[in-house]
Structures are given as structure tokens and as C-alpha cells.
Amino acid sequence: MTKLSVNINKIATLRNSRGGNYPNVVQVAKDVERFGGQGITVHPRPDERHIRYQDVRDLAPIVTTEFNIEGNPNLKFIDLVLQNKPTQVTLVPDAVDAITSNAGWDTVKHKDFLTEIISEFKNNGIRTSVFVDPVAAMIEGASKIGADRIELYTEAFADKFTISPEEAVRPYTESAMLAHSLNLGINAGHDLSLKNIAYFKEKVPYLLEVSIGHALIGESLYLGLETVISNYLKALK
């Protein structure tokens, strides 16, 4: 079964839009786990426009499933991860002003940089995952920098899914098979939703984890968080 890690950034965005502490991200994380979610994902950015660094510190001791911290490994981010020691850190090459993650790492160009950072995290007992496009050279590069897993960037799949599901998923199927042959675990995330997750799960082998936030929270406005999490879990069996 593929694990569902729920990204709760959008909960923090809603909280921050009004001020105060409602909705409370710690309580939502507890509820996600109570409803069956198998992980909590956060992506703190330098401007703290959604998840704040203090949120990470508050979440670390209460998450009982898997805690995944995503982000661009600047010095502040590295310190935050080492201080809170999540189950997994996912390295994402997003710019400071990026609205959302929009590209995977060039694992060849940034080989030395990523190797050093990954080594530091692994020495502290933290599983490492690298955000990559479904491109063979980038996956092969990930296998040479010490990463435990890759996270396949799935926006291209989601964009093409309604036009041609077979064409949309083919690079991801091939990428997963390659990654598995290189002893890399496979995660996936970005624009996965209830509309496409079952097909993606069916066609992409060796899928260990999906991280879903934007769509899941949006769907929950209509169906409720507990129902939506349950629907994802059924699709991921």
C-alpha cells in the first residue's frame, strides 16, 4: 500500500490570512492522523507565508506517523531540519519567490552540493528524498548523491491526464522502474487529486508515498477532511 502524507501548508495559509491561530495546524495534523493519514508534510519557505518555522517546531513532537519537511536547503532550512529530526526531508529547488514548486533538481549539475547536504541529514538519521522531474538522467544522478528516495514531480502528469492518461503516465512508469533498479525509493507529489490518484497508483510501480495538499484541502471544502482522506486511502490500496 502506498502511504498518504498530507501537506498541511494550505491550513497555515488560511490561518495566516486572518491572523490568530485558527485553524490550528497542530490540531489539524492530529486530526489528519486520526482520520487515517499516514504522514504529515510541511514546506516552510523563507518568508513564512504559510507554514512558519515555529509550526515545524510545534509539529515535530506531536506527529506520530511520518513527519516530512520539504524545502530548499538553505542554511536556515538545514538548521531547522537538524533541530527537529523529521522522518524524512525532501529537498526541493524552489526559488525564494516561487508561488509553488515548479521544477525538479538538476542532480547532475548540483551533484556536489546535494551530496554534502544529504550526507549531513543521513548522518543524523533522517531519510532523504530529492524532488525530480521524470527524466532518466536526473534519476540516475539522484542515485549517485546518496539519496534514499526520489519524489517524482507530477504536475506534467496532472496537466495531460484529461487529454491522454496513457501518455501522461508513461514517463512516470518508466521513471519508477528505473529508480527501483537503482535502489531508490519512489515518492510522488504535486497536483495529484482524487480525479487522477487511482490511475497513477495503478500505473506507477513501487510507489511508496504520495504527498498531497492543495487538491486534498480543496476537495475537503466540499466533502470534509475525514471523507477525503478515506477516499485517498481507498484509491492507494
Catalytic residue numbers read 43, 70, 190
Secondary structure of 80-135 in HEC code, one letter for each residue = HHHHHCCCEEEECCCCCCCCCCCCCCCCCCCHHHHHHHHHHHHHCCCEEEEEECCC
Specify whether the CB–CB gap between 56 and 80 falls below 8 A. Answer: yes
Name, in order, each residue with C-beta under 8 angstroms of 130's C-beta and a sequence gap of 6 or more.
90, 91, 104, 105, 107, 114, 118, 142, 145, 147, 149, 150, 151
Rounded to the nearest 10°, the torsion over CA 73, 191, 48, 10 is -150
| Residue 27 identity | Q
In angstroms, the CA 219 to CA 156 distance is: 20
Specify whether the CB–CB gap between 15 and 217 falls below 8 A. Answer: no
